[in-house]
Amino acid sequence: MFRSIWIPFGFYSGLFRYSDLLGFYSDSGANSAKQLIVKRVDNMAKDLYKLPPLKYGYADLEPYISEEQLRIHHDKHHQGYVNNTNALLEMMEKARKEGTDFDYKATAKALSFNLSGHVLHDFFWWEMTPASNASKEPVGEFAEAIKEDFGSFERFKKEFSKVASSVEGSGWAALTFCNDTKRLGIVQIEKHNVNLVPDFPIIMDLDVWEHAYYIDYKNDRGKFIEGFWNIIDWEELDKYFKKIQK
């Protein structure tokens, strides 16, 4: 899919497995994962990223996420990460074609930040659904795994919420899975690209940057987190959980 793209911190193998998700995205009704990529026919960048469409309307997550909040978050913030990633890829390909140098350290850091931001947001949009369609708690094998590792859904919900609310500054809370130990784990992600565990696929994540909730909740991150539990697509998460197990 990609040619000479840097993915620092080793997160390519764990977080960014679009080849594993091709059928999964199609099944979920979120169109195809191939829509995440826009083809180019020029001699520069052959593959560039594209902002994925939402599988629901902008007002469909209300009252927990308003139409205004979702439009700005998806169309402005997420689009910005896509644009920045594409600009970096084009710059790198141009430099390689011309045999010139660029700031390798800064470019690696910027690419990791923006590409991770794109991927994390894509998971975030996909895992949500209108409250009228959402079950109240996990289902299937995913529900069983949560009960086995955390004791109960309520305990998992408490731990995940505490991890999300305690993120310092900007970042994410994420539920991961280790195929070696078959354990679920909750982690914090600083900004977009720090503290990821290599080869641990993310099952669900929650954006707790202020841009994710400030229009609706001002500085009340806790209230935003509380509302998030009402719009999770547990059926799709169960399908995905089955798919990522080796």
This model's pTM is above 0.75 = yes
Alpha-carbon gap, residue 106 to 43, rounded angstroms: 25
Structure confidence by residue, pLDDT tens digits, 77-90: 999 999 999 999 99
Angle subtended at Cα 74 by Cα 69 and Cα 77, rounded to the nearest 5 degrees: 95
DSSP class per residue in 25-66: HHHHTS--GGGGEEE--SSS-SEEE-PPPPSS-TTTTTTTS-
Write out the binding residues.
73, 121, 207, 211
What is the total count of domains within the chain?
Answer: 2
Same domain for 13 and 113, yes or no, is yes
The DSSP call for residue 198 is T
Which amino acid, one-letter code, is at 84? N
Same domain for 194 and 226, yes or no, is yes
Write out the binding residues for Mn(2+).
73, 121, 207, 211
Range of the domain at 108: 8-128
> Up-side HSE of residue 219: CA atoms within 13 Å toward CB?
1
Give the tokens for residue 235. Answer: 């059926």
DSSP class per residue in 100-137: ----HHHHHHHHHHHHHHHHHHHHHHHTB--GGG--SS
Radius of gyration of the chain (CA): 18
The count of other CB atoms within 10 Å of the CB of residue 86 is 20
Residues 220/210, Cβ–Cβ less than 8 Å? no
Structure confidence by residue, pLDDT tens digits, 28-53: 443 433 344 444 434 444 689 999 99
Mean pLDDT within 180-208: 88
* SS3 assignment, position 205: strand
pLDDT of 21 above 60: no
CATH of the domain at 61: 1.10.287.990
Same domain for 21 and 91, yes or no, is yes
Same domain for 119 and 147, yes or no, is no
pLDDT given for residue 60 in this prediction: 98
Question: Among residues 81, 110, 128, which one ends one of the domains?
Answer: 128
